[in-house]
Amino acid sequence: MKRDTLLPERFGPLQGVRIISSGRLIAQPFAGQLAAEWGAEVINIEQPEVGDVGWRTVGICLDAVDGGPPVSATWLQERRNEFCVSLDFSKPQGRDLFLKLIPHADIWMESGKAQTYPRWGIDDETVLKINPKLVITHVAGYGQYGDPGYINRAAYDFIGQAFGGMMYQTGFPDPSPPTRAAPWTGDYICAYMCLCASLAGLHYARATGKGQVIDLGHFEAIHRTLGGTMIEYFQKGVVRERSGNKALAFQPYDTFQASDGWVLIGSVTMPVFERVCKVIGLDPTDPKWRKAQREVESIEGIEFDAILRGWVSERTIAEVEKLFNDAQVPCCPVMTSRDIAENPHYKARDIHVEWEDPQVGKIKGIGVIPKFSETPGKIWRGTVRVGHDNELVYGSLAGLSKAELAALKGQKVI
């Protein structure tokens, strides 16, 4: 099996790992993109000609330098470092070509409705016969099995947040509606779990020589982040309701409006609460305020909240932030994109970097996170057009000639 990397050079903690990513949008593909920034060789498969329908051009776009279609800012951020090939899985030639890539891969990630690939003759058993060490990760809205009424339903971020239980708890109490976590929080949660699970599977495969299949329901990944919500229900019959930004077991832990914007103040323990009282001129030893700290909805709790809100409203964000942080009380502004771009801490940590994108030229965005001391990640290339790497990938890994590739392109297989 040929293991020479297609990358210009090896880097990062995932060097030597080859991933095939054939999903759409965010919930699975973002997992591949993170791996690509950490040194994995990631082959992103899209539909011939049209690519990842919608996602390449969704939202705010930048003009292409070559006169091609404008490119989505999200695509530019989230598809860099990847090898982009095109393939029609539904055609027999497409199936055969895909299976030629399988011996060269460590992980294959995909997303779509349950049991999509078996309809094309690409079932797990067939794939694992070709490469017994392969880790296969399926991401689907409702998973690969379960109640027949759910398995073939379409699902997106919004659906996963609602079905997974996140949305009911997000937002302010009735009559305000449940609120989604933005921008696509459910999808990103799913992607992180997809990558974690895939790498865990790879660890096992490299130790034992045996691959496996991972079945991840989009809603399950979201549901797993709900803390004690379900124990509260099963053991106590408690349905956790929306409470806005406020914590109900202690205060202050909420957003407050200053004279020029919003600021967050967080105090969980009594010692921190005492420091809050000193900053705003209250006696921290007064039993009235100590009761207010833990009994948020009591008369004393409501009075304390009103005093604090009045105090904050008379000051700027900068004043509130300095006074509380000087007193070792967690406090920060609710940051906008502009605030973030100008913030000294973001600058000091080099969070935002510039890179050259083949489609739109030089751009600036979020760099590689986190920072590895011994094996740093890097951005070696920006995004490319649909099928840009067909010749490189299919020629190097599947052994196809230029003539064979031209024929497949003419048949719209690639």
pLDDT digits (tens, 9 = 90+) for 321-359: 999 999 999 999 999 999 999 999 999 999 999 999 999
Q: In this structure, is residue 88 part of a structural domain?
A: yes
Q: In this structure, is residue 285 part of a structural domain?
A: yes
State which H helix or E strand residue 108 sits in. Answer: strand 107-111
Verify that 97 and 141 share a domain, yes or no.
yes
- The tokens 């530019």 sit on which residue? 76
- The rounded percent of the chain whose pLDDT value lies above 90 is 92
User: What number of other Cβ atoms are within 10 A of residue 97's Cβ?
Assistant: 23
Verify that 261 and 326 share a domain, yes or no.
yes
61 in Cβ contact with 16 (< 8 Å): no
The closest of 138, 297, 298, 107 to 206, measured between CA atoms, is: 107
Verify that 202 and 334 share a domain, yes or no.
no
Verify that 50 and 81 share a domain, yes or no.
yes
Q: Is residue 153 pLDDT above 80, yes or no?
A: yes
Q: Which amino acid is at 87?
A: L
Verify that 306 and 384 share a domain, yes or no.
no
What backbone torsions phi and psi does residue 135 show, to the nearest 5 degrees?
A: -100, 125
Residue 319 sits in a domain whose CATH number is 3.30.1540.10
Domain boundary, last residue among 283, 304, 339: 339
Instruction: Provide the token pair at 200.
Output: 């865990």
Q: In this structure, is residue 379 part of a structural domain?
A: yes
DSSP 373: S
- The tokens 């997974």 sit on which residue? 164
Task: Return mean pLDDT, the chain.
Answer: 95
Q: Is residue 372 pLDDT above 60, yes or no?
A: yes
pLDDT digits (tens, 9 = 90+) for 205-230: 999 999 999 999 999 999 999 999 99
Verify that 216 and 257 share a domain, yes or no.
no
Q: Is 396 helix (H, G, I), strand (E, B) or coil?
A: helix
18-21 and 41-46 strand pairing: parallel
Verify that 92 and 203 share a domain, yes or no.
yes
Domain boundary, last residue among 293, 313, 339: 339
Verify that 330 and 363 share a domain, yes or no.
no
Q: In this structure, is residue 359 part of a structural domain?
A: yes
What pLDDT band is residue 198 in, cutting at 50, 70 and 90? very high
User: What number of other Cβ atoms are within 10 A of residue 22's Cβ?
Assistant: 22
Verify that 193 and 261 share a domain, yes or no.
no
Residue 113: give the domain boundaries.
Answer: 18-225+351-410
pLDDT digits (tens, 9 = 90+) for 284-323: 999 999 999 999 999 999 999 999 999 999 999 999 999 9
- The arrangement of strands across the sheet holding 41-46 comes to 83-86, 41-46, 18-21, 107-111, 135-140, 212-217
Give pLDDT, residue 408: 95
- The tokens 């609460």 sit on which residue? 273
Q: Is 54 left (phi over 0), alpha (psi -120 to 50) or beta?
A: left
Helical axes 185-208 vs 157-164, angle rounded to 10°: 80
State how many domains the chain has. Answer: 2
Q: Which amino acid is at 19?
A: I
Range 7-24 average pLDDT: 96
Q: Is residue 68 pLDDT above 90, yes or no?
A: no
DSSP 177: P
Verify that 38 and 88 share a domain, yes or no.
yes
Q: In this structure, is residue 246 part of a structural domain?
A: no
Instruction: Provide the token pair at 363.
Output: 């751009």
Range 231-235 average pLDDT: 97
CA angle 98, 101, 102 (to 5 degrees): 95
State which H helix or E strand residue 409 sits in. Answer: helix 402-410
pLDDT digits (tens, 9 = 90+) for 80-113: 999 999 999 999 999 999 999 999 999 999 998 8
**Which residues fall within 8 angstroms of residue 167, CB to CB, at 6 or more apart?**
161, 178, 179, 180, 181
Cα pseudo-dihedral 191, 195, 201, 202, rounded to 10 = 150
Q: Is 334 helix (H, G, I), strand (E, B) or coil?
A: coil
The closest of 198, 217, 210 to 19, measured between CA atoms, is: 198
393 in Cβ contact with 83 (< 8 Å): yes
Q: In this structure, is residue 55 part of a structural domain?
A: yes
Q: Which amino acid is at 311?
A: W
Q: In this structure, is residue 1 part of a structural domain?
A: no
Active site residues: 187
Range 386-408 average pLDDT: 95
Residue 178 sits in a domain whose CATH number is 3.40.50.10540
Q: In this structure, is residue 344 part of a structural domain?
A: no
The closest of 233, 48, 24, 34 to 141, measured between CA atoms, is: 24
Domain boundary, last residue among 290, 319, 339: 339
How distant, in Å, are the alpha carbons of 22, 23, 100, 111, 256 from that of 116? Answer: 12, 12, 19, 9, 48
How distant, in Å, are the alpha carbons of 255, 287, 305, 345 from that of 252? Answer: 9, 16, 7, 25
Verify that 325 and 357 share a domain, yes or no.
no
pLDDT digits (tens, 9 = 90+) for 258-291: 999 999 999 989 999 999 999 999 999 999 999 9
Cα separation of 196 and 3, whole Å?
Answer: 23
Q: Is residue 53 pLDDT above 90, yes or no?
A: no
The sign of the dihedral angle between the CA atoms of 53, 56, 62, 65 is negative
Verify that 323 and 364 share a domain, yes or no.
no
Q: Is residue 1 pLDDT above 70, yes or no?
A: no
